[in-house]
Structures are given as structure tokens and as C-alpha cells.
Chains A and B, each alone.
Chain A
Amino acid sequence: MRPPPLLDVRDLRRNFGSFAAVDGVTLSVQPGEVTALIGANGAGKTTFYNLISGRLRPTGGSIFYRGRDITGTPPHSITRMGIARSFQITNIFDQLRVIENVQVALVIRQGKGTRWWRRAARDEDLRLQAGELLERLGLSGLAMARAGTLSHGDKRLVELAIVLATDPQLVLLDEPTAGMTPEETHAVVDLIARLAETGPQTFFLTEHDMDVVFGLARRVFVMHRGRLLAEGSPDEIRANPEVRNAYLGEEVY
């Protein structure tokens, strides 16, 4: 008996002109199960995430989140429903302080966006929760720095902090370790593993670093030219000859 899926995607399509970047993908993500989406560059992973997170409108198909049809819902509503994402290319608030980056999401989540009189800096709730989150990600020392001045790896952590600050049920991470040094990658993998273990969030990530995927994920989907090629446990995927041919054979990493 499997629990009802957290995310249920049916026959999702997206065309750019006549080119189908996502070509009829059906998959579901179970709560609490770290899931990975792998595939060569250009396979359509980012486009797939853009569809789920509301950045792009699907050409066809539908997306159900906790049983509810969210196809065509705008990004901010999707975020507030509990799906948060990071971007393949780091996307944060450069000129704001690190702690403020996190507080943007907290303000919305705590329904404080209409407070125009009280100082944000004096709001204990905002300060404590942001502090706690930064602590968890090892960013405490950088709380007051302008986010744009951080190292690449730290910026990616700031983005992860923003994502977690929205209090998501489902976290979409688009190549969370892209451009990181091996040490940073290691640290982020540990972090995600720890969060997945303890937290209420379900992680759904794309990667093309296989070590990362096989270390983290319990369930793996393989995308190839817009279509789903295979799914299964890491071991099954590793042993799947079709995947070897189509994907591992292309030597993308």
C-alpha cells in the first residue's frame, strides 16, 4: 500500500515552437522519498521544473499536488501551496543582506507583508526564525553580509535558505551542486541528506553528478529528449541497459 503521491504529473508537455522540450512525461513523487531526475544536458529537466513551479505554462497535460490540480497556477501561489524551488543559475537578492534574503520568504509565509509600520529588524519572530535557518545551513556568520558579495557556494546556500524559509512540503532543486567545489558539493549533499532525514520536506532534485544522485535518492527518474526513459531505485537505474546506452553512453560528465 503506497500513500497517495505528493506530486502527480500526467502526460506533461511543453513545446518551444515545434520542438517538444518536455514530451509527455508522467511521474509521481511520494512524500518523504528523496527523488532525483537525471538526464543529459538538454534532456528537459529544467523545463520540467519550470512547468511544475509555474514559471512556464504547459502545452498539455496536468499537474496534481496533494490531489489538487495546480496546472497553470502562478508561481507565488504554487510557492504558498508548498512547492519551492531553486534555480540552476543562482537566483538570490544580491543587494539585500543574507538574513533579509531569508526574511523575504518568512514575511510572506507569516502573513506580515501588509505590515508597513513596524520595523522588520525589530520583529523577533522574523529575526529568530531567520537566524535559526541560517544556523542550520552554516551561514550564521554571514547573516549581515550583502548576499551578492558571497562566494558561489555560499550563494547557493542562501538560495537553499530562501527555499526552506517558504516552509515547503516539496522542494525542487535544480542541480543544487552546479559549479561547486568537491568539498562544497560534499557539504551540500550531507546537508540535503540530513534535512531529508529530519525535516518535513520531500526533496526532488535534478543532477548530473551521479555520485550525488546515487548517494541521496531513493527513487530515480531518467529523462531523455523530453521523455521519461526509465524509473526505479538507484541500483535498478545503474543496471538498466537502456539508460546506459542513452545516457551514460553520452558521457556528459
Chain B
Amino acid sequence: MTGRGAARRVTLLALLAVLAAWPWLAPYFAIFLMTEILILGLFAASFNLLFGYTGLLSFGHAAYFGTGAYVAALLLRDMAPPFLAVLAAAAVGAAVVALVIGWFSVRLTEVYFAMLTLAFGMMVYALVHQWRGLTGGSDGVAGFPLTAPLPGVAVNIADPVNYYYLTLILVAVSAYVLHRITVSPFGLILRSLRENSERASFAGVPVRRYRLAAFVVSGLFSGLAGALFAPFNRIAVPEMAHWTQSAEPVLMTILGGSQYFFGPFLGAGVFLLLRQWITSYTQEWMFFLGVILAFLVVFLPRGLLGLFDRWLGGRS
């Protein structure tokens, strides 16, 4: 137990050190790649609070990611407040959307839940796509400035290295918060719902209320990820709210291992590296992704970390 815990802590510190030194270690393009891995890793980890921990498969998480992206892009375009305020507003905006959608969705489970979240997600997409006056329709929102993080902090976040560090700090803090949630009493209740929601309700757990709480927290951090993603790309487009965007955190989480806190992050890394690598040979990288996913679902339902675990002779 303690041996494992210590090993995990050392690995984590080493990882953080590498991430902190990344701009010196890696070629220029890799700074962008790692920024994207961190952002989408956070998105996937937020998704996994609902999927891996609470047992609900959402197929509409792009709604919150997209909301975060658009709130950030629009605020920057129209008001240009300090960047951290933009992120906070975007995350809260996404959480509000999640509260509304979640309030309806948590009544259902399993494929019904997946379908309902898909439907709501596509409504958000349609709204973003059709409300041309505000969102520019399919052209998206672009040409906004990147403001200083806080008033008086004159850091130019348009510089990719600075943006990388900003992202790293925010993602690390968010990951820490999410992790604390998963090991808290609240997190224990969520895991009990994943395991057996009926038993949980007969142990006194108001099931829907806890599902909704998980849904909102998940939406909040998904929104933060979206709010980091739009400025990173200098544009918010409707595709960020489309169901194909919702599929990404699902794939990343399965890839890394939904039963591990860091599974989604690892999954995001492997996903984006694979994409980078395979797309340098062929346009059809989704084909390979599909083959890998099929293989994982059938033979390695615990993902890459599950494989790693077994390799180390960990628990079965």
C-alpha cells in the first residue's frame, strides 16, 4: 500500500517536473501538442467523473466544452476582461448549462441517459450553429484578443510558451481538485452509485441529487477545458459543441482506463500522439483509432493503465 503510494507520488512529481521543463526539453511544435493534451486531458477527466466514477455515459459532453469555448471567445471579443475572469465565467456558464441539462438527464440511466445527453448536446450545437447574430454561425467566433491573466499581471499569453504554462497550472490545479473529489466522502457516494445505485438509495443516498451534483461538477471542468481550448485555437467553432467532439473524451477515457484517475489524461496523450503520428502517413487515422478502440473494449476493458497494472503484477 505505502510502497505503491510512494511510487505513485514519485512518478507524479517526475511527471510534473517534465511538464514544467517541457518548453526547454521539447521542440517548438511539441509545446502546442502538450498544451492540447493537457486541455483535452482535463476535458476527458471531467467526463470521467461522470462515467468512471458515477457510472453514467454521457454522449453530449461537447455541450459544456462548447459552452465554455463560446463564452470565453465572446467575452474576449466583446468585453476583453482579464483572462482568468474569462475562464471563471466560462466554467460557471458551462456549469449552469449542465445544471439545466442534468436536471432532466439524471432521471434516466444507461443507453437512455446516453441518448438524452446526446439529444441535449445537439440542441446546444444547433443553437450555436443557428444563432448567427451572436455566434457567427458556422464561421465561428475569431479575431478576439488574448488579455492579461489578471489586471496588473502583464504576461502575454499570446506567446505559446506562456499559454502553455497558464494551461499547465490550471489543469494541474483542476486535476488536483477533481482527484480530491474522487477520494472524498462525496466521491465515495458517487462510486457507490456506479456500483449499485439501488443499494445506495437503500443506504439513504438521494441518488438523483448526487448524480446531478456530479453532472454539474463535470460540466464545470469541461467548460474550463473548452474555455482554454478556444483561445488556444484563436477561434470557437460549432464543431466544438458537436457530438463528434463529445466522442473524444469517451475514446480518450477508454483508451487510458476509466477506472484510474489518470486514465483520461494518459488517454488524451496517447490519442493526440497517435493522431499526430498516423495523420503524418494517412488521412484515415480514425480507422486505426477504431481498430485500437475495438481491441481495447474486447480485450482490455481497463485500458492502458489496466494493462500496465497487470504488468506490474498489481491487483487483478
Contacts and interface: CB of A to CB of B under 8 A. Distances in A.
CB atoms of A and B under 8 A apart anywhere in the complex?
A: yes
Interface string A105-126: 1011100111111111101001
Contacts of A236: none
25 contacts: A55-B202, A74-B201, A75-B201, A75-B202, A76-B201, A76-B207, A77-B206, A80-B204, A84-B202, A91-B202, A93-B192, A94-B196, A96-B192, A100-B188, A103-B188, A104-B192, A104-B200, A105-B204, A109-B204, A115-B184, A117-B180, A117-B184, A119-B180, A120-B183, A120-B184
B202 A123 contact: no
B195 interface: yes
A113 B212 CA distance: 13
A120 B188 contact: yes
B185 A118 contact: yes
Given A91-B199, A93-B195, A166 B204 contact: yes
B196 A113 contact: no
Interface of B: 180-181, 183-189, 191-192, 194-196, 198-207, 210
B180 A91 contact: no
Contacts of B195: 93-96
A61 to B, nearest CB: 22
A162 interface: yes
A150 to B, nearest CB: 14
Contact size range, A: 35 or more
Given A104-B188, A117-B180, 5 more contacts: A96-B192, A113-B186, A113-B205, A114-B186, A120-B184
B203 A105 contact: yes
Contacts of B204: 76, 79-80, 105, 108-109, 166
Contact of A126 (B181, B185, B199, B207): B185
Given A79-B204, A80-B204, A117-B180, A112 B185 contact: yes
Contacts of A84: 202-203
Given A91-B196, A119-B180, A85 B185 contact: no
A123 B201 CA distance: 23
Nearest to A166: B204
Q: Which 6 pairs from chain A and chain B are nearest by CB?
A: A93-B195, A108-B204, A105-B203, A79-B204, A116-B186, A104-B192
Contacts of B183: 119-121
A108 B202 CA distance: 11
A105 B198 CA distance: 13
Contacts of A80: 204
A105 B200 CA distance: 8
Contacts of A107: 185, 188-189
Given A74-B201, A75-B201, A91-B198, A118 B184 contact: yes
A119 B184 contact: yes
Nearest to B206: A76
Counting chain A CB atoms within 10 Å of each CB, the highest count among B181, B203, B207, B210 belongs to: B203
Given A115-B185, A116-B180, A117-B184, A166 B203 contact: yes
Contacts of A116: 180-181, 184-187
